[in-house]
Structure 1
């Protein structure tokens, strides 16, 4: 039997428009009426015809999410909030991964366009990655070279706090590991951290005491592992991987080389990961507010879908979570759940 929405409305004792709003989740319907309509739909076995609705509204009620991967906590946390917020407005999220590869990114974009998604939330790989003119795109975490609405972390403020903390602890020989130079996150994190160190050291009159070494690598555990090997024969006092995935690679390398953190080498990092909460003492973490970024991206997308003027770039505050400062060479203390 082909159950229609009119059948559901009749069963629930409401008008067609009320039944439509209750089932779609769009529009104002009180909770009791919505429950009554949903119960009638379940009883009759009603299923919405997504294709017919898409043709009628010229919308698929889907939003594409293009991210480097789905195992990195940086993206899973933001994506979970994004999905939850969009779901409230009746949109579903379709996910595609790029592996930080420009060719895969191009294919992911083509796939989203073929699916006729209404908009895309995009973590750019290629700074010139193209969408059709007028297509609704919000960039998340990274910025391309194109003028698009963007949600990024306020890394400069958080990394300045981290730099000050490192200098307060007495460190002067600092190794920095960051992602590929062509990505905005790598450029922003490197310049933000480096500039903060230089500025603060100059103010303190210790600029000549500082030694910086910067290594660019892939945003992956393998990238962090490989970058650490370049420091292995001349270890700095502290290594600062500016990505959770890079940090994971550094930790693997230090363990294989019997280097204890924080006794043999101090470690401060950028990122958010559940496993940092169980690592133990010795790691200082600068943690961007990923749920807030996901919520802001959802707001941007919904604004675009309502045909309002494109919103401006947003930067969400981040925070640095420090270990106690009573040991100037150890960064010992409690690793916080960030």
Structure 2
């Protein structure tokens, strides 16, 4: 058996100069056409791009990063891919970033703050141009964690960093208004973990309206899961309320599932409203009435704000708040 290494033929990498020569344009014009910059006509741009594709030209991103100081990449850090809300958000962020010519690296921290810190460090070490971050928890000051890398936070309250939010309190109020308008007078509230302001706000909005116009049957907390806490299950079983506002869709779907197990009909015996409008809300039995989070608009704003910060670190830090909306489906009905 021969110990000689296998012979591999080397293939020369196609350069921008090769593209310019084949297209019979200047190197500058080829660069403008490839990068979508400069003042070349659309006919020339299309011609150069066709030649580049024919030759198999690929941009040398490492060289471009050294030349421009940018990698053309963004980081997206999310807390829990088990929740379909974050899958929807990730798709929206990536779609908006792609429209701006950026590639997105995505990671899930599994709700663990140590993993979250590691993810931030890794994104920064890999040289992403900026980070969209959905933290596990609210933080008094997160600026030190992201160092000099432009960062925008979604949903959480984090000091020192630009933020994109929805009007959670108004969303909770919309849910309560809907249930009261249907004639419900004993309404329960089931929250998720109250360690984050957005959950506290959505429940506070609902509770404030219920206490003014009806009776708050109970105010209980559970995890973001179908598997409800025993005290929550008991409240459902004993029919303490004719309607329930759930602080998240996953909780609302869990309520429907447990109510059905107990022989209750949703919405005839129990009306349920969720919050987030995850894709599963439309296909549950019955489909879940919920408060829509404007995910696409929030993602677009997060990317726009991040690119502004990448272009100018001196941009003032803002907190942008989007309106929520009530989506009425078949999990709520009039109480007779």
Q: TM-score, normalised by structure 2?
A: 0.85
* CA distance in 1: counterparts of 2:331 and 2:106, whole angstroms: 42
Counterpart of 2:235?
231
User: Relative to structure 1, is the Cα distance of residues 132 and 175 closer, same or farther in structure 2, using a 3 angstrom cutoff?
Assistant: same
Instruction: Quote the offset at 1:328 in angstroms.
Output: 2.4
User: Relative to structure 1, is the Cα distance of residues 212 and 138 closer, same or farther in structure 2, using a 3 angstrom cutoff?
Assistant: farther
- 2:320 is aligned with 1:314: yes
Counterpart of 1:335?
none
Which SS does the other structure have where 1:245 is aligned?
Answer: helix
* CA distance in 1: counterparts of 2:38 and 2:193, whole angstroms: 45
* CA distance in 2: counterparts of 1:250 and 1:214, whole angstroms: 14
* CA distance in 1: counterparts of 2:332 and 2:186, whole angstroms: 20
Q: How many residues align?
A: 320
User: Relative to structure 1, is the Cα distance of residues 33 and 259 closer, same or farther in structure 2, using a 3 angstrom cutoff?
Assistant: farther
Which SS does the other structure have where 2:289 is aligned?
Answer: strand
Structure 1 range deviating more: 292-301 or 103-112: 103-112
Correspondences of 1:168-187 after superposition (within 5 Å): 168-187=181-200
Runs of 5+ unmatched residues, structure 2:
1-11
User: Relative to structure 1, is the Cα distance of residues 172 and 89 closer, same or farther in structure 2, using a 3 angstrom cutoff?
Assistant: same
Which SS does the other structure have where 1:221 is aligned?
Answer: coil
Instruction: Quote the offset at 1:104 in angstroms.
Output: 1.9
Counterpart of 2:9?
none
Deviation by residue 1:131-170 (Cα, 9 ceiling, x = unmatched): 24333110112222x1311111122223222211211222
Instruction: Quote the offset at 1:264 in angstroms.
Output: 2.3
Instruction: Quote the offset at 1:95 in angstroms.
Output: 0.3
Counterpart of 1:333?
none
Q: TM-score, normalised by structure 1?
A: 0.85
User: Relative to structure 1, is the Cα distance of residues 281 and 183 closer, same or farther in structure 2, using a 3 angstrom cutoff?
Assistant: same
Structure 1 range deviating more: 130-139 or 48-57: 130-139
Counterpart of 1:16?
27
Determine if contact 2:291/2:327 at 8 Å carries over to the other structure: yes
| Superposition RMSD in Å | 2.6
* Structure 1 segments of 4+ aligned residues over 6 angstroms from their partners: none
Correspondences of 1:222-261 after superposition (within 5 Å): 222=227, 224=228, 228-235=232-239, 236-261=241-266
Determine if contact 1:143/1:150 at 8 Å carries over to the other structure: yes
- 2:276 is aligned with 1:271: yes
* CA distance in 1: counterparts of 2:164 and 2:332, whole angstroms: 36
Structure 1 range deviating more: 258-267 or 320-329: 320-329
Counterpart of 1:329?
335
Determine if contact 1:287/1:319 at 8 Å carries over to the other structure: yes
Out of 167, 191, 201, the residue aligned to residue 180 of structure 2 is: 167
User: Relative to structure 1, is the Cα distance of residues 108 and 221 closer, same or farther in structure 2, using a 3 angstrom cutoff?
Assistant: farther
Counterpart of 2:305?
300
Instruction: Quote the offset at 1:73 in angstroms.
Output: 3.7
User: Relative to structure 1, is the Cα distance of residues 55 and 195 closer, same or farther in structure 2, using a 3 angstrom cutoff?
Assistant: same
Out of 198, 206, 210, the residue aligned to residue 193 of structure 1 is: 206
Deviation by residue 1:208-259 (Cα, 9 ceiling, x = unmatched): xx1242222332334x466742424433211211212222322332333333
* CA distance in 1: counterparts of 2:152 and 2:258, whole angstroms: 36
Instruction: Quote the offset at 1:287 in angstroms.
Output: 0.9
* CA distance in 1: counterparts of 2:279 and 2:104, whole angstroms: 24
* CA distance in 2: counterparts of 1:275 and 1:326, whole angstroms: 16
- 2:290 is aligned with 1:285: yes
Counterpart of 2:160?
147
Instruction: Quote the offset at 1:301 in angstroms.
Output: 0.8
User: Relative to structure 1, is the Cα distance of residues 192 and 211 closer, same or farther in structure 2, using a 3 angstrom cutoff?
Assistant: closer
Which SS does the other structure have where 1:66 is aligned?
Answer: strand
- 2:89 is aligned with 1:78: yes
* CA distance in 2: counterparts of 1:310 and 1:220, whole angstroms: 38
Determine if contact 1:66/1:95 at 8 Å carries over to the other structure: yes
